């Protein structure tokens, strides 16, 4: 009778161990790359979402303020020239308002070539009409306040607004450039015949004929460093705003 044979588990050879380690490293590397790509995609989506929020905020704030240009609360008992008298002091961009004028601005300024735009209107206490910094007039009942809203782009690519010549407040970041063209009604038919910049309008003395404002905002590209693309987004945001109180 033959004696029983005992089989012993053989250990891994050095080659098998190296193969296993190599496979594990490849798997770990693949998972790391997958995680990095997912994180990069998430960050990109987050940056684009923030940009879209900034675009909406900028356009909403500009539209709300600009469409109120030349407004005053009681046209039956008052006239525009009385409610909005000629400026006693210059606006932050050096412009000023004639009596009854509700909007003005400048052409290209600084290295970015951005324009400025100044809008004024009258508010009565308790009417809820906000200036560009979100403030309302809360004075004594029946009293009024003229708000001068001065929009510009600073050197940090920020859309900012000053109220009545005060300290500007940043509204939106990553705005590389703002340009403004004004719809001018030269034949008095109630419609804009051409769109001109502030410099041309000032030279031709056409501010009283302005009926709309076309604002173009160019935003910084948040993904420029990742894609190697342009520093700004290729498609600017263009908004045309009717000046209902100046028709």
Q: Burial, 21: exposed, middle or buried (Cβ in 10 Å; 0-12, 13-18, 19+)?
A: exposed
The answer on pLDDT for 246 being more than 60 is: yes
Task: Specify the range with the lowest mean pLDDT, choosing from 33-42, 154-163, 234-243.
Answer: 33-42
Task: For residue 25, give the 3-state DSSP assignment.
Answer: helix
Is 70 strand, coil or helix?
coil
Lowest mean pLDDT among 36-50, 111-125, 208-222: 36-50
pLDDT for 208 equals: 95
Band (pLDDT 50/70/90 cuts) for residue 191 is confident
Give the whole-angstrom CA distance, residue 74 versus residue 78. Answer: 6
Domain boundary assignment for the chain? 45-246
DSSP at 232: B
Which run of H or E residues covers position 240?
A: strand 237-242
* pLDDT tops 90 at residue 3: no
- DSSP secondary structure string, 42-94? HHHHHHHHHHHHHHHHHHHHHHHHHTTTT--S-TTT--HHHHSPPPSS--TTS
Does residue 44 carry a pLDDT above 60? no
Token pair listed for 231: 């520093």
């Amino acid at each position: 009778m033959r004696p029983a044979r005992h089989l012993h588990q053989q250990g891994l050879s050095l080659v098998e161990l190296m193969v296993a380690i190599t496979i594990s490293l490849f798997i770990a590397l693949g998972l790391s790359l997958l995680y990095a790509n997912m994180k990069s995609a998430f960050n990109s989506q987050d940056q684009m979402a923030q940009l879209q929020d900034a675009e909406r905020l900028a356009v909403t704030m500009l539209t709300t303020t600009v469409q109120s240009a030349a407004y005053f609360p009681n046209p039956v008992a008052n006239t525009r020239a009385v409610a909005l008298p000629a400026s006693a002091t210059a606006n932050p961009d050096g412009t000023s308002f004639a009596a009854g004028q509700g909007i003005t601005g400048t052409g290209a300024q600084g290295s970015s070539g951005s324009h400025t735009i100044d809008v004024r209107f009258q508010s009565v206490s308790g009417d809820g009409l906000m200036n560009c910094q979100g403030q309302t007039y809360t004075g004594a009942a029946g009293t009024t306040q003229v708000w001068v809203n001065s929009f510009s782009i600073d050197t940090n690519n920020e859309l900012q607004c000053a109220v009545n010549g005060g300290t500007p407040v940043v509204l939106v970041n990553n705005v590389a450039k703002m340009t403004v063209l004004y719809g001018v009604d030269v034949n008095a038919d109630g419609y804009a015949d051409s769109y001109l910049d502030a410099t041309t309008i000032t030279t031709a003395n056409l501010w009283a004929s302005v009926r709309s404002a076309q604002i173009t905002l160019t935003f910084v590209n948040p993904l420029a460093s990742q894609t190697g693309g342009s520093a700004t987004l290729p498609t600017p945001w263009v908004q045309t705003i009717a000046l209902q109180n100046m028709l």
